[in-house]
Amino acid sequence: MDNCCFIKRPIPFLFLNFIIWNIASIPLVPASIAPYVDETYSSKPDLYDALLNTFFPISFVILLNASGESGSIKNKLLPLLDDVLYNTITWVIPLIVSFSYGDLLAIKIFSIINMCLHVICAITAIFKREKIGSCKFNGLYVRTIYGFLILFPVIVIPAFWIINITTRHTFDSINMMFLIIFGFLLVSLILYFVIGLFYINLKIASAFLIIFFYAPNILQTLLIALYWPINFYFVKACVFILVLSLTRNVSYFTDKVPDEFLATSTTITQAVLREFIKEQFGGGSQIEIIDEKIDDIKISIDKKDNNMNEIRRLMMDEVKNSMMDEVKRSMTDEVKRSMMNEVKRSLINEVKRSLMDEVKNSINEMKKNS
């Protein structure tokens, strides 16, 4: 026993050996699933639904509390977002449906024509890079965009879907309801022109304008979601985009449109609508009137400051120019004096040299004679 060498293993080594042997023996244990696990359940729809329900309030808080401060990037992003949402509802959703189902050639042609007209209108407005504050609402450019986005949806969209529903001969209760609503939109357009022609009631006419701009696209989206629901995700996305667009649209009428907003096609249209409705219904609330007066005062103060700065700049330039002229004149006089003195010195030196030479010559001549 004395010759035997007994070495005790350290405790960390024994613990590591225990873990390795347990991991190695895991494959020998038969696999089992807990009885409360549902193997047929798919989490994708519920996860997608939960994510959208989470993003709903977050998006609303961000978009409703968006500031219109000068120089803010939101003044460009929010109008572009409004354009994207409007075009998505107007032609992107019908175009996706027309390519997803094989028997919707009419909807495909309608969506492509719709896309071309709205994209041209949107790109034209974006490339002009104007702001709402500098737009002339009575100008031809603004009137053209405004007239197109008001009249096109209320004429073309109801007429197309009335023809589409009647040619498909599917006169169930939902289709009949949409036929009545689309027919009411066309009739209301005629009433609008009658009211505008005879100046019956411009308040009613302004209400019609709101319906013309918003109602056709909302009805079109609901009709598509009811009859051509591609899947759960598509319907949920349509509802999300529709509610998000309506949230942004409401903000144009509850808050003052910032003058620094980028003048996109939808921004111009909704700003003109807001001004027209405000004129017809008493010029807005007292808070809006006070805000507008404050803005006018700020603009006048800014103009006065700019004028004062311009006057200061002109005065400084004048002072600088006069000082520079004075310096130039003084430098010129100094140069002239120095040149005259130099000429005088050179002449005196020359006379001195000539006199000295003459004296020397006379002295030398006298020496030779003597």
Domain total in the chain: 2
pLDDT of residue 7: 47
* pLDDT value of residue 57: 64
143 and 211, same domain (yes or no): yes
Distance of CA 14 to the CA centre of its chain: 66
Among the candidates 286, 315, 342, a domain finishes at 286
H-helix or E-strand containing 285?
Answer: none
CA 213 to chain centre: 21
Instruction: Looking at the structure, tell me whether residues 265 and 300 fall in a common domain.
Output: no
C-alpha distance across the termini of the chain, in Å: 150
Are 322 and 220 members of one domain?
Answer: no
Same domain, 326 and 191: no
Residues 111 and 189 in one domain: yes
Based on the domain organization, do 278 and 163 belong to the same domain? yes
pLDDT < 70 stretches in the chain: 1-46, 48, 52-72, 199-201, 282-296, 298-300, 302-303, 305, 330-331, 333, 370
Of 248, 255, 252, 210, residue with least CA distance to 89: 248
Cα R_g (the chain), whole angstroms: 43
Whether the Cβ atoms of residue 149 and residue 213 lie closer than 8 Å to each other: yes
Residue 328 lies in a domain: yes
Closest residue by Cα to residue 128 from 147, 113, 141: 141
CA distance linking residue 1 with residue 67, whole number of Å: 89
DSSP state of 92: I
User: How many C-alpha atoms does 62 have within 13 Å on its Cβ side?
Assistant: 10
The answer to whether residue 10 sits within a structural domain is: no
> Which domain-ending residue is among 286, 315, 348?
286
One domain, residues 112 and 239 = yes
DSSP helix/strand/coil, 5? coil
| Among the listed residues 288, 209, 214, 213, the one whose alpha carbon sits nearest the alpha carbon of residue 255 | 288
Same domain for 323 and 228:
no
Distance CA 341, CA 328 (A): 20
Q: Report phi then psi at 260, rounded to 5.
A: -85, 0
* Cα separation, 183 vs 163, whole angstroms: 11
Render the burial of 11-45: b for 16+ CB within 10 Å, e for the rest.
Answer: eeeeeeeeeeeeeeeeeeeeeeeeeeeeeeeeeee
φ/ψ of 193, rounded to 5, equals -65, -35
pTM over 0.85? The answer is no
Q: Please write the tens of the pLDDT for every residue from 196-247.
A: 777 666 777 778 888 898 999 999 999 998 888 888 788 888 888 888 888 8
Q: Which of 286, 303, 323 is the last residue before a domain boundary?
A: 286
Query: Is residue 11, in this structure, part of any structural domain at all?
Result: no
277 shares its domain with 297: no
Q: Are residues 278 and 303 in the same domain?
A: no
Q: Is residue 249 part of a domain?
A: yes
Assess if residue 6 is contained within a domain: no
Q: Are 230 and 127 within one domain?
A: yes
The pLDDT of residue 172? 84
Helix/strand/coil for 102: coil
- The residue range of the domain holding 222 is 72-286
Q: Please, what sign has the CA dihedral across residues 249, 250, 253, 254? A: negative
Are the CB atoms for 269 and 214 separated by under 8 Å?
no
Give backbone dihedrals phi and psi of 131, rounded to 5 degrees, phi first.
-110, 160
- Do 279 and 326 share a domain, yes or no? no
In this structure, is residue 91 part of a structural domain? yes
Asked if residue 215 is part of any domain, the answer here is: yes
**CB-CB contact of 264 with 83 (8 Å):** yes
Judge contact between 268 and 133, C-beta under 8 A: no
Is there a domain that residue 154 lies in?
A: yes
